[in-house]
Amino acid sequence: MDLKQSAKDAAKVLTSYITYQAVKTVLNQLKETNPAHAYWLNTFSTKDALQDGEAYLSQLLKENAELAMRIMIVRQNIAEGICEFLPEMVITGIQQANMEHRRQHLERITQLGDGEHALESELPGESEISQEATTDSDGLPK
């Protein structure tokens, strides 16, 4: 596994996501201050996908440099704000998610194992005997 390439790929995805968040932020600001620009940016953003933040910004610079510059400033501020917490949050989040997945898997295989075992060992009439052993004469649990 090439960790350096994985880091580059993750950085590219994160950069595109931060660009998306910056576009959302600028759109919300424009809705309050300049609805016409908000409409234009929303239309542009739905036409040109934000999957690749850099390609999106390159295209936006050709169409409306002022909005592109604004989005670049906002995304830089977002990046600076989250990057100091991000490494620890990612590692902690993955550790917790892995633990939860393992717990769910263990519960599932344990339940399947118990269910299969109960089905194999239970003979006709055996459930009535085991129920009698766990209840008193009034039918209430002992």
- Taking 60 as the threshold, does the pLDDT of residue 2 lie above it? yes
Domain at 3-84, CATH class: mainly alpha
CA distance 142 to 134: 6
| Res 49: pLDDT | 74
Q: What residues have CB less than 8 Å from 37, skipping those under 6 apart?
A: 30, 67
| Res 137: pLDDT | 52
DSSP assignment of 36-94 equals: HHHHHHHHHHHHS-SSSHHHHHHHHHHH-HHHHHHHHHHHHHHHHHHHTTHHHHHHHHH
Q: What is the mean pLDDT of residues 70-98?
A: 93
Q: What is the mean pLDDT of residues 132-138?
A: 51
Q: What is the mean pLDDT of residues 72-93?
A: 92
Query: Any idea where the domains of the chain sit in the sequence?
Result: 3-84, 88-134
Q: What is the mean pLDDT of residues 121-138?
A: 50
Q: Are 31 and 42 in contact (CB under 8 A)?
A: no
Q: What is the mean pLDDT of residues 62-68?
A: 95
Could you tell me the pTM of the whole model?
0.69
